[in-house]
Amino acid sequence: MDKQKLIASLNEIVGPDNVLSSEMDLMLYSYDASLDKAKPDVVVLPDSTEEVSKIMALAYKEKIPILGRGSGTNLTGGTVPIKGGIVVHFSRMNRILEIDYANRTATVQPGVITLDLQTEVLKKGFVYQPDPASQKVSTIGGNVSENSGGPHCLKYGVTSNHVQGLEVVLNDGTVINTGGKARDNAGYDITALVVGSEGTVGLVTKAILKLERAPESVKTLLAIFDAIEDGANTVSAIVAEGIIPATLEMMDNTVMRAVEETIKVGYPLDAACVLIIELDGMPEGMDDNASKIVEICRQNHVRDVRLAKDEAERNVLWAGRKGAFGSVGQVRPSYLCCDGTVPRTKLPEVLNQVIEIGKKYNLPIGNVFHAGDGNLHPLIMFDERDEDERSRVLKASTEILKACADAGGTISGEHGVGMEKLKETAFIFNECDLEFERQIKRAFDPDDIINPGKMIPANS
């Protein structure tokens, strides 16, 4: 379809104010938080499911690539339109449609910011558990598509475990509902398939999310170590002891220093790493569990274990953790985050390999990650403008993911494959696995117009 005609048709659907097509606007939708870039042909900002359905039907009829975008904070090129086409920006569809405490659900549009929903339900003593570090800005649509996780997902599970139903616009514009307020619907679990599909099977226009009562009490510990190995061994030992805290996060010296530049948390800057360990639930038995954890830390040569004495202290500890990615900008302008995940017993070993890889390529690497889940996030720091450095970074990243896969792990724990890790899927999938995924994709999108070129490598 001719571009002017396309724009005219979209104008009719959403009104000209909500169709962006200037060269500047296209450039501004060419990126996300990853390193990739590609321009769309046009950007639309719909306001309703009906509009999205019409946009999709148009794309289907004309075989134009189309993809959804929330806040564009994904780290793997998920919203980069490598085949051009239409970008559907969900920023205007940001209404919390209903909070139904009796049924413990919240129904929201995809553009709702995760934290906004959480703040709202907390007023009534409820929580929506998934807490990606980007919760201040990420949207529910993005969380659903990437199956995002966060510190508390150790105990409570990732986004997938908290989505009860979705409204999805299919390739031809058909609107379907999966799941619902009632659980255990008959038939295939389409909800589970759409969650984590990286926007490749349809556009999500509504989500029914599960709410839970906020835990009665919370205890947050900061364990300080003089050697990374000790911290890593502690993590493995806590899990092996059969203790699943609410969170078990690790942060190394490099990252602590960077964070301290912007947020004054009071991390011990002379320590090698810290663990942020949080317990929650009923207060009964919590002290015992905490003492057990402290004992394990001691066995692993902890320097000191501090207890957050109030909500304010706890908040500042978390502000530091959640701000960690961004703050590495204080060290070098760009970073690449490897999202490799390993069985928890392999943590010390793989962490060592990561450090070695950093040395080999002469790149600074900071570590801040969901240790309890075995979900590493080595942040390789560099300057995107330096071509040589950039190519070393890509090599190092591939090598790190290989190390994770070799340890029985996987290449992505929560950020997705996107376009950044297509090649690395070979570390974990064989041709049969990939073919099965392609079949799933074909079932939803036989013409390959929905976020094409992502998640599954093309047939070789």
Partner 1 sequence: MVDDTEKFKNLSETLGEAHVKTEPKITAQYTVDNVVPRAVVFPKNTDQISEVVKFANRENLAIVTRGSGTKMAMGNPPRKLDLVVCTSRMNHMLDVDTSNLTMTVEAGVKFRDIQARLATQEDRCYLPLGDLEAEGDEIICSDRSHSGCFVPIDPPYADKATIGGIIATNSTGPRRLLYNLPRDCIIGIRVVAPNGDVLGSGGKTVKNVSGYDVSKLMVGSMGTLGILCETTLRMLPLPEKMETLLVSFANFSDASAFAGRIFETSLLPAAVEIMNGEAFGHLSLDDKPDFGSNGYVAAIALEAFEPAVDRMRIEMLNMAKEAGAGANAVFEEEDHRSFWLAMSNLSATLDKKFSGFIKAKLNYPLSMWKNIIASGESIFSEANLDYIVQAHAGNGICFTGLLVDNNDTSATDKAVEAMNQLLAYCQEVDGNLVIQSAPADVKSNLRIWGKIGFDFVVMKRLKDQLDPKGIMSPGRFVEGL
Partner 2 sequence: MNIVQLKKLSYDEVAKCNKCGFCLPSCPTYLVKKAESYSARGRNAITRFAIENKLELNEDTERAIFTCLGCGACTAVCLSSVQTKDLIFQNRECQVDAGFYPKVAKRLVKILEESHNISDEDQEDRAEWQELIKELPEDAFEKETADVVFFVGCVASFFPMVQKIPANMAKIMQSAGVDFTILGGEEWCCGFPLIGAGMPEKLAAMKDHNLKKVAKVGAKTIVFTCPSCYHTWHHFYKSDAKLMHASQLILELIKDKKIEFNKNIKGVATYHDPCDLGRNTGVYEEPREIIKAIPGLEFVELPMNRKFSVCCGGGGNVEMTDPDLSAQVAQTKLASIKAVGADTVLTACQQCVRTMETRAKRSKTDLVVKDLTQLVIEAME
Ligand X SMILES: Cc1cc2nc3c(=O)[nH]c(=O)nc-3n(C[C@H](O)[C@H](O)[C@H](O)COP(=O)(O)OP(=O)(O)OC[C@H]3O[C@@H](n4cnc5c(N)ncnc54)[C@H](O)[C@@H]3O)c2cc1C
Applying CB under 8 A, the span of 65-73, 264-272, 279-287, 408-416 interacting with partner 2 comes to 65-73
Q: How far apart are CA 448 and CA 223, in angstroms?
A: 49
> Residue 286, exposed/middle/buried by CB under 10 A (0-12, 13-18, 19+)?
middle
Binding mask 121-140 for partner 2 (x = CB under 8 A): -------------x-xx---
Yes or no: say if 445 and 194 are a contact pair by the CB < 8 Å rule.
Answer: no
Q: How far apart are CA 74 and CA 326, in angstroms?
A: 13
Q: Which CB sits closer to ligand SF4, 263 or 275?
A: 263
Binding mask 238-277 for ligand X (x = CB under 6 A): ----------------------------------------
- Closest listed residue to residue 148, CA positions, set 124, 115, 105, 177: 115
Residue 32's binding partner, choosing from ligand X, ligand SF4, partner 1, none, with beta-carbon cut-off 5 to 8 A by kind? ligand X
C-alpha distances (whole Å) from 95 to each of 56, 65, 139 are 21, 27, 11
Residues 308-337 that bind ligand SF4 (CB under 6 A): 326, 329
Q: How far apart are CA 147 and CA 449, in angstroms?
A: 21
Query: Which residue is at the shortest CB distance from ligand X?
Result: 142
**Does residue 20 bind partner 2 (CB under 8 A)?**
yes
Handedness of CA 167, 171, 172, 173 (dihedral sign): positive
Q: Among residues 68, 110, 132, 196, which is the contact residue for partner 1, using CB under 8 A? A: 196
Q: Among residues 53, 105, 148, 353, which is the contact residue for ligand X, using CB under 6 A? A: 148
Q: Among residues 73, 145, 205, 234, which is the contact residue for partner 2, using CB under 8 A? A: 73
Yes or no: say if 238 and 245 are a contact pair by the CB < 8 Å rule.
Answer: yes
What tokens appear for 187 in the block? 């038939």
**Does residue 110 bind ligand X (CB under 6 A)?**
yes
Residue 49's binding partner, choosing from partner 2, ligand X, partner 1, none, with beta-carbon cut-off 5 to 8 A by kind? none
Q: How far apart are CA 168 and CA 200, in angstroms?
A: 12
Yes or no: say if 354 and 398 are a contact pair by the CB < 8 Å rule.
Answer: no
Q: How far apart are CA 194 and CA 65, in angstroms?
A: 18
Residue 25's binding partner, choosing from partner 2, partner 1, ligand SF4, none, with beta-carbon cut-off 5 to 8 A by kind? partner 2
Q: Among residues 318, 335, 369, 429, which is the contact residue for partner 2, using CB under 8 A? A: 335
C-alpha distances (whole Å) from 152 to each of 74, 168, 397 are 19, 27, 26
Yes or no: say if 19 and 10 are a contact pair by the CB < 8 Å rule.
Answer: yes
Residues 96-115 that bind partner 2 (CB under 8 A): 113
Q: Which CB sits closer to ligand SF4, 231 or 366?
A: 366
Residues 363-392 that bind partner 1 (CB under 8 A): 370, 373-375
Amino acid at 41: D
**Does residue 369 bind ligand X (CB under 6 A)?**
no
C-alpha distances (whole Å) from 246 to each of 181, 214, 316, 320 are 26, 13, 17, 18
Residue 136's binding partner, choosing from partner 1, partner 2, ligand SF4, none, with beta-carbon cut-off 5 to 8 A by kind? partner 2
Residues 46-85 that bind partner 1 (CB under 8 A): none
**Does residue 85 bind ligand X (CB under 6 A)?**
no
Applying CB under 8 A, the span of 57-65, 167-175, 383-391, 426-434 interacting with partner 2 comes to 383-391
Q: Which CB sits closer to partner 2, 325 or 427?
A: 325
Q: How far apart are CA 111 and CA 109, in angstroms?
A: 6
- Closest listed residue to residue 103, CA positions, set 210, 262, 185: 210
Binding site for partner 2 (CB under 8 A): 20, 22-25, 27-29, 31-33, 43, 45, 71-73, 89, 91-92, 94, 113, 116, 134, 136-137, 259, 261-263, 323-330, 333-335, 383-385
